[in-house]
Amino acid sequence: MTGKPLCKQCGRSETRRINRQGFFQRVVMYKLGYVPWECVFCRKPFFVARD
């Protein structure tokens, strides 16, 4: 992935990387290779596959 991902809900590119929270994000999503992001505008969290 190059640059920041687009928000899955509103389509904007103003996103930020957020910390993993809870067992599911810290263990399961980490092992599957997904990283949590959040839209700055609509505050919707989403996951993007790591390169």
What number is the average pLDDT over the span 21-42? 96
Per the model's pLDDT, the better-predicted residue between 42 and 2 turns out to be 42
Average pLDDT of the residues of the chain = 93
Instruction: Tell me the C-alpha distance between 39 and 36, whole Å.
Output: 11
Which residue segment(s) compose the domain that 19 sits in?
1-51
Q: Please state the domain count of the chain.
A: 1
Answering whether pTM is above 0.95, one says: no
Per-residue confidence (pLDDT) for residue 51, from 0 to 100:
77
- The one-letter code for the residue type at 14 is E
Closest-CA residue to 7 (of 34, 42, 32):
42
